Amino acid sequence: MSVRAFEWHDLPALHRYRAQCIFLDSARVLTTGPIFVPTGALLSSLVPATGFYTAMHEDDQSGVPFFGQASHTAGASSAHLTFLTPAAALTQARLLPLVEHLLMPLGERGAMHLVAEVEEQSDIEHQLRTAGFGMYARQRIWRLEPVNVNGAAGEWRAAHRQDEAGVRFLYANLVPGLVQQVESLPVGRLQGLVYYRGNELLAYVDLTVGLNGLYAIPYIHPDAEVSAGQLVRLLQRMPSWNSRTVFLCVRSYQSWLEPVLGDLNAQPGQYQAVMVRRLAVRRMAPAHAAPALNGSANETSVPVARIEINRPGPLDLE
């Protein structure tokens, strides 16, 4: 048995098992569909700079190959485990060496974590735990079918550069520290919607747009008092709302939104565990004493925080 990088001549075997995939990146599969299984694998072989890395575990005894793929956006602190296939061939003896093989190129690109989203209490959750993954968040994805709604969008509008400070402050106050250690909020080019009450920003909804749908992660302050009607007006601002399904990812720290989504007749998915395998240990930069200022005590330098900028540009939702 051995693990190696995917090669173009492995495509027929991967195509044969494409219907037996376990998908682990909700945003990607819900917005683009499973087309990235053969396409991303081929890109990983021909154009590795795209950030797709696919590996195959060969088993001479059974003759059944086992495939896995991870993706990484340039500049992002985290990579995602995108799929494993075939599900019937998933064993600890196959998963662990395959994951270890994928970690090397991801680390070379600067990724610090490998993230996977799985259904809670599933076999794959147990397998990932034994492969060094740990849960850092819980979530449930709600599906809202396209409907025709009329009326003004209210206080919701597309996020602009001047909203960055407010969004960063909202994120820092809503999201638990454990999650912030793994997921950096993309700033610099926000892609989503904001909601203000007066001059105070009370909500930001981050959007991932694809041909198959829109994937939204809300960051809404409880004091915003968001009603079902306000969420409908939010959905009106999303591009092609009348022709696309919207998927709202509600994390456990925003679970108070679920009754609101129930009022909108949204369909809840299964609870998911968001799991992470750390590629590197984040270390604080050592403090160095600076020369005394005005004859006073030495000043201690402050480590510089890394801000992730990895979005293609703001959405034009006007």
List, for residues 9-64, the tens digit of each pLDDT value.
999 999 999 999 999 999 999 999 998 898 889 888 888 889 999 999 987 677 88
Q: What is the pLDDT of residue 167?
A: 93
> Domain 2-132 has what CATH class?
alpha beta
pLDDT per residue over 97-137, tens digit each? Answer: 999 999 999 999 999 999 999 999 999 999 999 999 999 99
Strands 267-278 and 289-290: unpaired
Mean pLDDT of 243-262: 88
State the Cα angle at 172 between 170 and 175, rounded to 5°.
95
> Which amino acid makes up residue 39?
T
Distance CA 76, CA 282 (A): 14
Decide if pLDDT at 272 tops 60. Answer: yes
Strands 200-209 and 213-220: antiparallel
Distance CA 11, CA 8 (A): 6
Distance CA 211, CA 50 (A): 19
Residues of the chain with CATH 3.40.630.30: 2-132, 142-269
Other beta carbons within 10 Å of 19: 11
Q: Could you give phi then psi for residue 209, rounded to 5 degrees?
A: -110, 135
Distance CA 232, CA 12 (A): 44
Which CATH architecture is the domain 142-269 placed in?
Answer: 3-Layer(aba) Sandwich (3.40)
Q: What is the pLDDT of residue 112?
A: 94
Indicate the average pLDDT of the chain. 83
